[in-house]
A and B are shown apart, each in its own frame.
Chain A
Amino acid sequence: MQTKKRSAILLLTIIMMLSIVLTACGGNNNTAGTNNQAANNGAANGAANAGASDTSEEATIKMLLVGGKPADYDQVFGELNKLVKEKINATVEAEFLDWADWSQKYPLKFAANEDFDIVYTANWAFYNDQSLKGGFLELTEDLLSKYAPQTWANMPKVAWDQAKVGGKLFMVPNNNVEITDKVVLIREDLRKKYNLEPVTSPETYAAYVKAIAANEKGINAFQAKAADGWKWHELDQIMLEQQNEWNLVDYNFPLAYKMDDATGKVFNVYDTPEFKQLLAYYKDLADNNGWSRNVVSNKNDVWQDIKAGKAASYAQNIGTVAANIMEATRENVGIELAIADLTPDKKKISAISTQNGLAIHATSKNVERSLMLIDLLQNDKQIHDLSMYGIAGTHYEAVGEDKYNAGPSAANYSPSGFSAWGWNSALNRQDAAYPKVADDMFNTWTSKVYHFPLETFVFDDSKVKNEVANIGNVMLRYAIPLEYGLIKDLDKGQADLIAQLKSAGIDKVQTELQAQIDAFLAAQK
């Protein structure tokens, strides 16, 4: 029996070794291939640099985009290809990674080194990760100024700087002014019904929440969206960041600096008097039934709840809230909504450019032509309109130079269907039905945008990956219940949270972050 077992294990070992050897060979071939390709690219670049860009040979550029394939893809991209063919002698083929599963497929496409040239990326779509792993081609000033000259000229320097990872650029960010400040969508009719002051501050909002909680049975005064791993109370961006003019470096750990602090000193937001105060504020709302006791387990869509009259406020970015109001008007749902900015006088931060962008695959064989295409997508009015909004008269109706109305078959090619946002630019059109209040609010914000040295700073967490992973877990487990008022003793809860963060290694992250910030500021002087 013994010998039998031993021989079984032996057999197994042999097979495993065999398989390792087999794959190792395969793997080596693979890497060799990659290196060759990279070398070829280099050579191609060198050659191209020597003369004018050579487009004599027709190229097919494969794009990897995120989102559902539009129903009229063939039609629109057919038109697009006519233009692209004429301008840079190339055709475009797009592959769409569906919203349902893109985050699983996206890294695999790189791991298997599949064939594609341009790929959508963003700070929330693997940008840092793939940059560090070598998935993207580094974009040098040379390449950009030569093959994407308009983009290179039109893009603000801040946008390029924000897109750098470890000092290197891997993305052509979108060129679009956005402000990430969150606002609250409220029920204006209910506010009037209870004669409440306009909601413009945390205090007036608290009054609104309490009034509704006390008088309207069956309505959650505040509702959070279904939990998806977000590690904060949904009002935190407003109440903690915007209200105190702090900037959280990364929402995956609770470290922030003051926007106007030139030294960029980092601190743990949970360990501040402001947070303590905020906890009391939240607890007060929770104790007054401002939100459901099961708010963290919510599985419903908040906006649907609001539309159905089951929830009376939620926090979201201004564009989405404006879209909600458009939808409510369109469908005539019989409730009156309003946008409440709880921090109107505070400094605003413009969104980081890496919210959306396009990158070039590290092993692309069409680097120059890909950059040319990106240049066209961002800056050529005709191509931009076509790729973003579809065919005029069919998918959209142009209204002036910068607005549009949905066309008869808008559903078959819509700007919200897939990640065409990767080439957002000044040429973007706005939906003509966009509520004026939202537009006005946005315009006043742009005048309050605050620029500060650290706005281009991006944290490289590769040395503290383990700690960041554990901190995230602690936040979900200890911070969220505490903030939603589910823990009776606030002081003890806060002390627990801080202690747990310490053992998860927040100090190490803080030290690393501070060191990177100091180095960054020193380099800027």
Chain B
Amino acid sequence: MSASATQTSSKAQTAGKRRGTDVLLLQIIGYIVITVLAVFCFVPFLLVVSSSFSEEQSIIENGFQLIPTTFSTEAYSVLFKYPEQMLRAYGVTIAVTAIGTVAGLFLTAMTAYVLQRKDFKWRNQFSFFFFFTTLFSGGLVPWYLMIIKYLHLKDTLLVLILPMLLNVFYIIVMKSFMSSIPEAITESAKIDGAGDFRIFMQLILPLAKPALATIGLFIALGYWNDWYNALLFISNENLMPLQYYLYKMLGNMEGMRKAMMQSGAVVNVSLPTESLKMAMTLVATGPILLAYPFIQRYFVQGLTIGSVKG
């Protein structure tokens, strides 16, 4: 199926690229604008990479530099001082991201599907019910109490997954994407006697691939980058996800300096904080950058509704 899909979409694109000054003009504009923006996005990242391989001393003296004058892997050796901890942190993050994304994406899609069904009488009421939670919140304390005192989730892997399982923003965007799937599909299936859940699983999910890829990416990024839930609920070193592990490493040094000044105690820490910050960015981003091209094809080339129908 995917072969025919790519074929159709590339056909659609070649059809759009017939010779003509308009097409040529658009191509020129497109290449220029995108190249400029891409450079704009790339240079700061390059700065991060090269600074992470610089000596701390040279950063302090000369600031961040695109082309490092000195080469050093000091920051990385500090980060990987305890390699088994780092590996475990990667493991936790990967597990949480994988489980959370699959579960979250499934529930998001299922919820969104119901909310966009035009024959579902209470869809607006439920939409409002969900949306309302983005406006009002009881703040940190009651939420914390809920998770610690009533759900007893402290120091469990579940606490890293559960609170982020669903996000109203994603549900609503998914709902909007799904509403472009022709209603006729649901209707004809119903006439054939299929149940709502089966329609969702067998007909809608396959058709919603671009939306699933997009929202799935966002959910995964959310899990990957989260450190706040770990901050609040994890004190067991074996359950620390990567971002929190990194956050702690840097925050500990800065927090210690500050506390010591206030308490009158002696400040005596010296670590390459600047290059460390940069190296952390790379360590945390690396795996995503490696994985990205594999999921990218879903929304750059895309499976289109039209192609499946045709």
Contacts and interface: CB of A to CB of B under 8 A. Distances in A.
Direct contact of A and B (CB under 8 A): yes
Interface of A: 4-5, 7-8, 11-12, 15, 23, 26, 30, 66-68, 95, 98-102, 104-105, 108, 111-112, 114, 122, 124-125, 178, 180, 225, 228, 300-301, 303-305, 307-310, 316-317, 319-320, 322-324, 326-327, 351, 355-356, 416-417, 419, 421
Contacts of B268: 323, 326-327, 416
Nearest to A174: B263
Contact of B125 (A8, A100, A301): A8
A102 B56 CA distance: 27
B258 interface: yes
Contacts of A125: 259
Nearest to A228: B258
Nearest to A352: B264
Given A100-B247, A304-B60, A124 B263 contact: yes
Given A26-B150, A319-B264, 12 more contacts: A30-B149, A98-B248, A98-B251, A111-B145, A112-B145, A112-B148, A304-B270, A307-B60, A320-B261, A320-B267, A322-B266, A416-B267
Interface residues of B, number: 45
B2 interface: no
Interface in B238-254: 247-248, 250-254
B221 interface: no
B142 A99 contact: no
A111 B267 contact: no
Interface in B178-196: none
A301 to B, nearest CB: 7
Q: Which of A95, A301, A326 has the most CB of B within 10 A?
A: A301
B264 to A, nearest CB: 5
A108 B144 contact: yes
Q: Which of B141, B250, B263 has the most CB of A within 10 A?
A: B263
Contact of A101 (B56, B129, B144, B251): B251
B129 A12 contact: yes
B201 interface: no
19 contacts: A4-B125, A8-B124, A8-B125, A8-B128, A23-B142, A95-B235, A98-B255, A100-B231, A125-B259, A300-B60, A300-B274, A304-B270, A319-B266, A322-B266, A326-B268, A327-B268, A416-B265, A419-B259, A419-B263
Contacts of B142: 23
B231 A68 contact: no
Interface string B125-145: 100110010000000111011
A204 B108 CA distance: 69
Given A304-B60, A320-B267, A355-B263, A68 B129 contact: no
A95 B154 CA distance: 14
Q: Which of A66, A101, A319, A323 has the most CB of B within 10 A?
A: A101
Contacts of B132: 12
Nearest to A67: B256
Nearest to B231: A101
A416 B264 contact: no
**Majority SS at the chain B contact face:** helix
Nearest to A424: B265
Given A105-B231, A122-B263, A308-B60, A26 B149 contact: yes
Q: Which 9 A-B pairs have the closest CB atoms?
A: A100-B251, A99-B255, A8-B125, A124-B262, A308-B60, A320-B267, A99-B256, A323-B266, A319-B266
Contacts of A419: 259, 263
B254 A99 contact: yes
A403 to B, nearest CB: 14
Contacts of A322: 266
Interface string B219-237: 0000000000001100100
B149 A12 contact: no
A327 B266 CA distance: 12
B158 interface: no
Nearest to B125: A8
Nearest to B269: A416
Contacts of B267: 303, 316, 320, 323-324, 416
A356 B263 contact: yes
B125 A178 contact: no
B57 A308 contact: yes
A417 B144 CA distance: 28
Contact of B264 (A7, A30, A99, A351): A351
Contacts of B265: 319, 356, 416, 421
Interface in B57-91: 57, 60-61
A131 B232 CA distance: 23
Given A100-B251, A228-B258, A11 B264 contact: no
Contacts of B60: 300, 304-305, 307-308, 310
A180 B251 contact: no
Given A11-B129, A68-B256, A310-B61, A317 B264 contact: yes
A180 B267 CA distance: 15
A107 B280 CA distance: 29
B78 to A, nearest CB: 12
B96 to A, nearest CB: 19
Contacts of B145: 111-112
Given A30-B149, A308-B60, A416-B269, A99 B251 contact: yes
A8 B253 CA distance: 50
A303 B140 CA distance: 36
Interface string B37-49: 0000000000000
Contacts of B148: 112, 114
Nearest to A351: B264
B256 to A, nearest CB: 5
Contacts of B124: 4-5, 8
A320 B260 CA distance: 8
Contacts of A101: 231, 248, 251, 255
Contacts of B250: 100
A301 B264 contact: no
Interface in B153-186: none
B231 A104 contact: yes
B144 A111 contact: yes
Given A12-B132, A323-B266, A68 B149 contact: no
Nearest to A123: B262
B249 to A, nearest CB: 8
B31 to A, nearest CB: 37
B42 to A, nearest CB: 23
Contacts of B232: 104-105, 108
B252 A98 contact: yes
Nearest to B255: A99
B281 interface: no
B8 interface: no
Contacts of B264: 178, 180, 317, 319, 351, 355-356
Contacts of B111: none
Contacts of B253: 99
B6 interface: no
B214 interface: no
A5 to B, nearest CB: 8
Nearest to B270: A327
